[in-house]
């Protein structure tokens, strides 16, 4: 097996692992939020997936893992939107991180800004989807409080996990 084949196997394996971790983190702690849905730790892994895997594989891991959690948890009506929203979050988180880190030459503030950007996508995405489902923008916005709490948890947890743990793991593992 050549180096390129090993790298492809590694990235696919890590992507599947991150999708599974996203699903588990989403389902592990579910705190019901106002309206439909729940606050969870899944966004932590969504951002980490983006930063570890890049936009394509990070988006796949984030979207698939989060959508599976919705299906398993009884929120299947949200699964299609979750697939798209969480994948988009990962793409945005990756690109914002790379852009800000390039300009600031510092990873910590870049991760915070990237995670906040991703959570804005999440909140706006669910408001848009819930407007469609409920037929009312007011009803959709009333549930945004839970998304904002989730977003806050996602920013804090993803930046902390990456900066305190993942960043210190040797690259050759």
Walk me through the domains of the chain, giving residue ranges and CATH numbers: 3-168 (1.10.1760.20)
Q: How much is the pLDDT for 1?
A: 43
Residue 37 pLDDT level (bands cut at 50, 70, 90): low
- Mean pLDDT rounded to a whole number for the chain: 92
CA distances to 77, 99, 104, 105, 127 from 147, in Å: 17, 25, 29, 30, 9
Beta strands 38-39 and 31-32 are antiparallel
Q: Which residues contact 46 (CB under 8 A, 6 or more apart)?
A: 22, 62, 66, 86, 89, 90, 93, 118, 154, 158
Residue 172 pLDDT level (bands cut at 50, 70, 90): low
Q: How much is the pLDDT for 34?
A: 66
Higher-pLDDT residue of 94, 2: 94
Does pLDDT of 167 surpass 60?
Answer: yes
Question: Does residue 110 contact residue 97 with C-beta atoms inside 8 Å?
Answer: yes
DSSP code of 98?
H
Q: Which residues contact 14 (CB under 8 A, 6 or more apart)?
A: 52, 53, 57
Q: What's the rounded Cα separation, in Å, for the pair 37 and 143? A: 9
Q: What angle do CA 4, 168, 15 make, to 5 degrees?
A: 40
Does pLDDT of 143 surpass 90?
Answer: no
Does pLDDT of 95 surpass 90?
Answer: yes
Does pLDDT of 122 surpass 80?
Answer: yes
Does pLDDT of 100 surpass 60?
Answer: yes
Does pLDDT of 3 surpass 60?
Answer: no
């Amino acid at each position: 097996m050549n180096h390129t084949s090993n790298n492809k196997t590694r990235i696919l394996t890590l992507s599947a692992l991150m999708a599974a971790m996203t699903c588990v983190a989403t389902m592990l702690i579910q705190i019901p939020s106002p309206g439909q849905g729940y606050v969870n730790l899944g966004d932590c892994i969504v951002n980490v997936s983006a930063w570890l895997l890049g936009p394509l594989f990070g988006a796949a891991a984030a979207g698939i893992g989060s959508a599976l959690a919705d299906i398993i948890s009884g929120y299947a009506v949200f699964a299609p939107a979750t697939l798209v929203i969480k994948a988009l979050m990962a793409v945005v988180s990756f690109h914002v991180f790379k852009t800000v880190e390039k300009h600031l030459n510092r990873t910590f503030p870049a991760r915070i800004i990237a995670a906040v950007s991703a959570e804005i996508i999440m909140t706006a995405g669910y408001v848009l989807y819930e407007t469609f489902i409920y037929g009312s923008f007011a009803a959709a916005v009333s549930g945004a409080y839970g998304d904002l709490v989730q977003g806050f948890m996602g920013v804090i947890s993803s930046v902390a996990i990456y900066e305190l743990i993942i960043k210190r793991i040797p690259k050759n593992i």
